[in-house]
Amino acid sequence: MEDLGLNAPHSMGTTIIGVTYKDGVILGADSRTSTGVYVANRASDKITQLTDNVYVCRSGSAADSQIVSDYVRYFLHQHTIQLGQPATVKVAANLVRLLAYGNKDTLQTGMIVGGWDKYEGGKIYGIPLGGTIIEQPFSIGGSGSSYLYGFLDQAWKDGMSKDEAEELVKKAVSLAIARDGASGGVVRTVIINEEGVTRNFYPGDQLPLWHEELEPQNSLLDIWGAAAASPVPMTE
């Protein structure tokens, strides 16, 4: 029997993105988690809260990214109690970086930390595999990111409104889903600014279709039934 890798570790072949806009940041991600070629969870949440004002997008090994997030959330809680005020985005990102770099030989995860604080406003930090930390106006990660660099270089602009930035995030993730077999499912976004946090959810059937993508179907039987109902005429 062919080995499909069904006992492999859960891996988030993923598309994650964080962008800054004039009032804050927006994080976005797809929702497919796979083990081998099997989709273990098609609606997972890859955007995790670290503090009231800081979130992290997770890619790579699901177990690795979850344990890093748990440790950082615990450390930030202690930090907030000691200082008597919320941790900054930079502090949160550097804690992620310390754990990622200190365990770079064993962790298989890339993360994007984004949030808002009263000192620096909205900030995005990319922390790819290996534990480097890079402050960027926008950051992308996961297997779907390779399809998006040129698009975001052209489409992102400084001073975007919240609606423009969220539409960009939604479009970018749906474009990656169309090309990357390891990305899929729904699109989740998190908007973080001075007013607080807003989470949005976009089901797959509400995302734009690109190129030769098929319309969403409930099952393969629907596709076969449609094909049988309207056969393609034979030509010589």
CA distance 207 to 216: 10
Average pLDDT, integer, range 217-236: 62
Q: What pLDDT, on the 0 to 100 scale, is given for residue 212?
A: 73
| Of 180 and 114, more confident | 114
Q: What is the mean pLDDT of the chain?
A: 89
How do beta strands 47-49 and 24-29 pair? unpaired
Active site residue 48: no
Please check whether residue 234 lies inside any domain of the structure: no
Please check whether residue 232 lies inside any domain of the structure: no
Q: What pLDDT, on the 0 to 100 scale, is given for residue 38?
A: 85
Q: Would you say 11 and 142 are in contact if contact means Cβ atoms under 8 Å apart?
A: no
Residue range 144-176, pLDDT digits in tens: 999 999 999 999 999 999 999 999 999 999 999
Please check whether residue 236 lies inside any domain of the structure: no
Please check whether residue 189 lies inside any domain of the structure: yes
What CATH number is given to the structural domain containing 67? 3.60.20.10
State percent of the chain over pLDDT 70.
86
Please check whether residue 96 lies inside any domain of the structure: yes
Q: What is the pTM of this model?
A: 0.86
Q: Which of 14, 20, 33, 88 is catalytic?
A: 14
Q: Phi, psi at residue 84, to the nearest 5°? A: 75, 20
* Strand ranges inside 22-71, DSSP E: 24-29, 33-35, 38-41, 47-49, 54-61
Taking the CB of residue 128, how many other CB atoms lie within 10 A of it?
18
Q: How many domains does the chain have?
A: 1
Domain boundaries, position 192: 11-209
Please check whether residue 26 lies inside any domain of the structure: yes
Q: Which two tokens stand for residue 13?
A: 């072949």
Please check whether residue 100 lies inside any domain of the structure: yes
Average pLDDT, integer, range 217-226: 68
Please check whether residue 41 lies inside any domain of the structure: yes
